[in-house]
Amino acid sequence: MRRNFFMALAVIFMAAYAPEVQAQGFFGKLKDKVKEKVDQKVNDVTDRIVNGKSNSSEDEDAQEAAESEDNTPNVTTTNQKSDFVPGSVVIFEDKFENEKIGEFPSKWDLDGGAVEMAKIAGRTVPQWTESGDILPLMKKNQYNYLTEEFTIEWDVYISKKNDEWGDMTHEIGLMTREEDVNSWNNYAAYVEIWYRPGDGASRVMWHCQKATDGSVENDVSDSKTNIKPNAWNHFAISFNKRAFKFYVNGTRICNVPNMLQPRYVKYTGSGSEYPYSCISNMRIAKGAVELYDRNATDADAITKAMEETGKFVTNNILFETGKADLKAESMAEIQKVANYMLKNKSVRFEVQGHTDNQGTDKVNDPLSQKRAEAIVTALVKLGVDEWNLRAVGKGSHEPVADNKTEAGRAKNRRVEFIKR
């Protein structure tokens, strides 16, 4: 880095005092030299990604940085705890907006206790006068309407009253079967919100019944859930085949990888004169946060896809945002594709890069082309015959999902390997 600094001073000096023609000649040579260095740097980075090699010049720069006054590491992290995506197909929704005060909520069924509509904190909501349960009223399949992938969202008013009342609860339960509705054995999961108005504290507790024997639960203080006092707070659940996630005000506080399949929803409330247990804007929908698979793509899946459809589609090849630089974790997927191609050396393949619709075609089209070319380069370095590969950038012109949602955009950011 010090060498670069003195070189820059030399350039400035010569630009100021050398004749114009000599300066042009010098800068022309300098331009060629810089281009040569940049090309070498690109090749070095590609080699490190594919072969796991280090770069001596980068090590030297790192050593110089360590000797500088400020050697604090520049670390960038991504907050994966705000990954909630609402389901797209609504199963049940109730905003309670047009309900009559003093009446039972029209879209619900009673399963014990007493509840009636009231005006609380600017909203018309169901308020408990006696503790009990209510269920969303479905035209059919009252106890079996939750799919393998669903989300549930609701608002809760958290009130802090200066009194000496004890703990009060609000609970959303995910139930497994109709029989013995009130039994603890019937819960796949539940989320409880606890209030202790005397000292202004609030807590959230979640409990999940695992698909294997046993259960898992946690009691999370309000300092970790960012609960807002005397305000409406947003709660959400995502379930995808086996994975349960729970969110408070957009932050994920629960991530259980293997839970029983729920079948229906039950809302339990505690009766009181204060709004400790009232909900608003309940929404249940099909669709969920993408399921995380630690094994990425199985090699057999590539073979099966190629045999049945003539192409393999993957979302496991990742790039730096807005760039054609492969992330190191993408190499496991590329290696599996390369293994298939090496077993089928007489087959030609088109490598297609696809983007979502964020940004313009002027940016996305060449970006997708460069990404496809980067994958071809990586495959060639793994032994695949370059003659059998053709890189094609499709931009955002061939979406396979709705670009209006993050989940849809994630599906559209993909790579396709097509037999030709």
Per domain, the residue ranges of the chain are 2-67, 82-286, 299-419
**Contact by Cβ (8 Å): 170, 270:** yes
DSSP three-state, residue 16 = helix
Nearest one of 109, 158, 162, 102 to 129, comparing CA atoms: 102
Within 10 A of 61 (CB to CB), how many other CB atoms are there? 13
- CA–CA gap between residue 34 and residue 37 (Å, rounded): 5
Structural element, H or E, at residue 353: strand 349-354
- CA–CA gap between residue 317 and residue 315 (Å, rounded): 6
Q: Helix count (H) and strand count (E) of the chain?
A: 8, 19
Place of tokens 């904190």: 121
Q: How much is the pLDDT for 171? A: 86
**Contact by Cβ (8 Å): 368, 360:** no
Nearest one of 253, 193, 192, 255 to 225, comparing CA atoms: 253
Q: How much is the pLDDT for 83? A: 76
Calculated CA dihedral for residues 360, 318, 394, 302, nearest 10 degrees = -160
Nearest one of 375, 368, 338 to 354, comparing CA atoms: 368
DSSP three-state, residue 74 = coil
Strands 108-110 and 201-209: unpaired
DSSP summary character for residue 98 = T
Q: How much is the pLDDT for 160? A: 63
Ramachandran class of 112: left when φ > 0, alpha when ψ lies in -120 to 50, beta otherwise:
left
Per-residue pLDDT of the chain in tens (420 residues, 90 and over written 9) = 444 544 444 444 444 444 443 444 544 544 455 445 545 544 554 454 444 444 444 444 434 333 333 333 333 333 456 678 888 788 999 999 889 999 999 999 998 888 899 888 889 998 888 888 899 999 888 888 998 889 999 998 876 654 444 455 678 888 887 555 455 567 888 888 776 555 555 667 788 887 666 788 787 765 566 777 778 888 999 998 888 999 888 888 888 888 888 999 999 887 655 545 578 999 998 887 766 554 446 677 888 889 888 999 998 898 988 899 998 888 888 988 999 999 999 999 999 999 999 989 999 999 999 999 999 999 999 999 999 999 999 999 999 888 888 878 888 999 999 998
Specify the pTM: 0.52
Q: How much is the pLDDT for 89? A: 82
Q: Cβ-count burial of 157 within 10 angstroms (0-12 exposed, 13-18 middle, 19+ buried)?
A: buried
Q: Cβ-count burial of 9 within 10 angstroms (0-12 exposed, 13-18 middle, 19+ buried)?
A: exposed
Assigned CATH for 299-419:
3.30.1330.60
Residue 182 in tokens:
């009130």
- CA–CA gap between residue 195 and residue 235 (Å, rounded): 15
Q: How much is the pLDDT for 201? A: 57
**Right CATH number for 82-286 from 3.40.50.720, 3.40.640.10, 3.30.420.10, 2.60.120.560?**
2.60.120.560
**Contact by Cβ (8 Å): 119, 280:** no
Q: How much is the pLDDT for 273? A: 53
- CA–CA gap between residue 128 and residue 113 (Å, rounded): 8
3-state secondary structure 339-351: HHHHHCCCCCEEE
